[in-house]
Structure 1
């Protein structure tokens, strides 16, 4: 019986080591790709007028700076569409102030109203999409909790000029504001996930920073099918993959995102990400469960079992178990070192304040492995998730079956444009009595133009 146990453990260990070695090779290839991409002096290409859609909900400590960065892009021809659920959202006040300050870019504040069929974020995105002016040729989506650099927009849309590229995405790089356990775990797990899902060949769309031509977006039927689902980016990834359309990862456009969370917030965030993967990229989620389960078994089994065997005088099997655990830890540390080097290229600087987070990522593999494994397994049978205060229950196909939310005394039937930088600047200068006209794009009539009278808030 003991022999069978050792043989079984040896087989599991061989599988785990093989997967770990492949991940290490992938991490090296990822670093090579990032170095090559960032080392090329590439001239940005103008792809016509760009519509930048930014869904907002609530106010965090970086919202004002993040919104300012969207107005400070070096791309010459673009519009911004900030979308909120209701006029009571605290983000409305911040957005209105920024609209009144930065009038050099056409920007609009849109009230989307409550979603009744799918995720609120997707509902907001579709409201922004339907409000795009008729001359928009490229659509860019971004989250309000990121702070892109000045060339982010131009670098993000430039690869779309290639025939083989149908969508372009980047990813977030967390910047911990406090170096406690929650923020360090989030930093480490996010960096590891980024290294696995972003590559030169095929990538997963991240909803906080991606671009697609309007033509491809419409022909893929994403806007027609989005409204019943919960995950905007993973559904879009799944749809484009089915159509064999290439998703290009652009390292130059990786965006910084400040993090300041508690243990409960971190755990909720990780479980939500795993929940989305469980329902919209099931194969990737299952591979993650298998990999982390094998690693947990070999690492903790080798470490604790090996130590126990050594204490009982069985030096050979005990040493082998400890060696396997150490090999997994060493490979994880090497991968961490390489992705932290890539992180300096993403941020285009070596941030000395991140040194503590880097060391945590390199040294604390047992803890990050355990937390990630627990998060992946915890959503195996889960159908209900709460996101931004709204509860969603999904069906077998990933469609939202039930939405649970608190009743709001001020319900707005959107979409409704309630402010714009153009209108506010014109009001200040008293140049016009009429507000600007916005060409509303609808699926029923793509050329229909509605004249909307703007009012300054």
Structure 2
């Protein structure tokens, strides 16, 4: 029996080393990509679509960043669900304040059988000019740098690349526990973005040729969907096209959150993954379930040895091997940090200051992921920006509670 427990401990160390290897590969890929010229001179005609609902923290600062894009042939389309949305008046003022930018503000109406964000995006797509080459979709809580769109569209020069994507890094404003934990939880998904087989689109910053959008019938797939990015990921992959992550397009979202907001957001991401990408959801579920069960077993065995309930030294060694999961999770953060710093050099000081907290919270982020997984077993309902949805399937969304 002792040897079985010891074998579990050895396997735990090996398994906990895999994320570290993934982080090392990610760091290598990012350094190689950032070492190349990010601008190859590709300048398609772009329509930048930004669905908006309500006033996010620093809303005006974020929206001004869209108007400040350094791109020669760009039209900006901003969309709200209704005219009485608080964002609508703010966006009207922003358009008037930037007459040098080609910008339009549309009203999409209230969604009934799909996500409101997708409803807004579909309204914008229907209004896109015929000579637009590339559609860029971004979220209103992002704060892109002036060269963001220019960098994001470059991979699309290759016809085998169906979609180019950025990713989000939550930047805590005050550094509160729950804000940093959300950032650490979200950062765990970044290591898959350079893997051509495992990467995915992030809806907050994605670019696709209009021709590809139409060929992949994305608008049809969006008709009754909730997740814009998971749906477009599946659509692009179904045509045998690749997805390319652009390291220069890691975008920061500057906001804090409460415990309830953090839990609601992480639960929502997990439930969406269960519906739209069940294979990935199962892998994550098994990984966090097995990892945390082994960690708990290690704690119990160590406690039993310290209290003289267990006298076998091999059990002590086994428990220490199991508990090695904790420093290995911290080591993963240590390996990942240089890649994040390379992509966000302007935030280096703050990220370095937050780094000890990221490392210490890595085990808690894994436990949180397990809680999210357990919660997602029992429901397909989420609440997103004040609207409650039930996802019957990737192609059927029911609005349970409409917006007032």
Q: Tell me which interval the TM-score lies in, with the shorter structure as reference length.
A: over 0.9
Runs (4 or more) in structure 1 with deviation over 3 Å come to 6-19
Superposed, 1:347-386 pairs within 5 Å as 347-386=344-383
Q: 1:154 aligns with which of 140, 150, 157?
A: 150
2:306 paired residue number: 310
2:72 paired residue number: 76
SS class of match (1:115): coil
Q: How many residues align?
A: 402
Superposed displacement of residue 13, structure 1: 4.2
1:201 paired residue number: 196
SS class of match (1:144): coil
C-alpha separation between the residues in 1 aligned to 2:397 and 2:339? 41
1:49 paired residue number: 45
Deviates more, 1:51-60 or 1:234-243: 234-243
Could you report, residue by residue, the CA deviation over 1:117-145 in whole angstroms, capped at 9, with x for unpaired residues? 11111111111111111111100000000
SS class of match (1:148): coil
TM-score, normalised with respect to structure 2: 0.95
Superposed, 1:392-403 pairs within 5 Å as 392-395=389-392, 397-403=393-399
Q: 1:270 aligns with which of 263, 266, 269?
A: 266
Could you report, residue by residue, the CA deviation over 1:382-401 in whole angstroms, capped at 9, with x for unpaired residues? 12221111111121x33334
Equivalent residues of 2:163, 2:242 under 8 A apart: yes
Instruction: Name the CA shift for 1:296/1:97 in 2 (closer, same or farther; >3 Å).
Output: same
Superposed displacement of residue 15, structure 1: 4.6
Extract unaligned runs of 5+ from structure 1. 409-457
Q: RMSD across aligned C-alpha pairs, in angstroms? A: 1.8
Q: Tell me, yes or no, if structure 1 residue 320 matches structure 2 residue 317.
A: yes
Superposed displacement of residue 48, structure 1: 2.2
Superposed displacement of residue 259, structure 1: 2.1
Q: 1:128 aligns with which of 124, 129, 134?
A: 124
C-alpha separation between the residues in 2 aligned to 1:347 and 1:407? 36
Could you report, residue by residue, the CA deviation over 1:215-246 in whole angstroms, capped at 9, with x for unpaired residues? 01100011112110111101111222222210
1:64 paired residue number: 60
SS class of match (1:261): coil
Could you report, residue by residue, the CA deviation over 1:324-375 in whole angstroms, capped at 9, with x for unpaired residues? 2342122212210122211111112353233442111112333221111111
Instruction: Name the CA shift for 1:407/1:376 in 2 (closer, same or farther; >3 Å).
Output: closer
Q: Tell me, yes or no, if structure 1 residue 37 matches structure 2 residue 33.
A: yes
Superposed, 1:32-431 pairs within 5 Å as 32-195=28-191, 197-202=192-197, 203-312=199-308, 314-395=311-392, 397-406=393-402, 408=404
C-alpha separation between the residues in 2 aligned to 1:10 and 1:399? 47
In our comparison, the structure showing a higher alpha carbon Rg is 1
Instruction: Name the CA shift for 1:322/1:356 in 2 (closer, same or farther; >3 Å).
Output: farther
Superposed displacement of residue 319, structure 1: 2.4
TM-score, normalised with respect to structure 1: 0.84
Superposed displacement of residue 88, structure 1: 1.0
Equivalent residues of 2:301, 2:316 under 8 A apart: no
C-alpha separation between the residues in 2 aligned to 1:227 and 1:60? 26
Equivalent residues of 1:188, 1:360 under 8 A apart: no
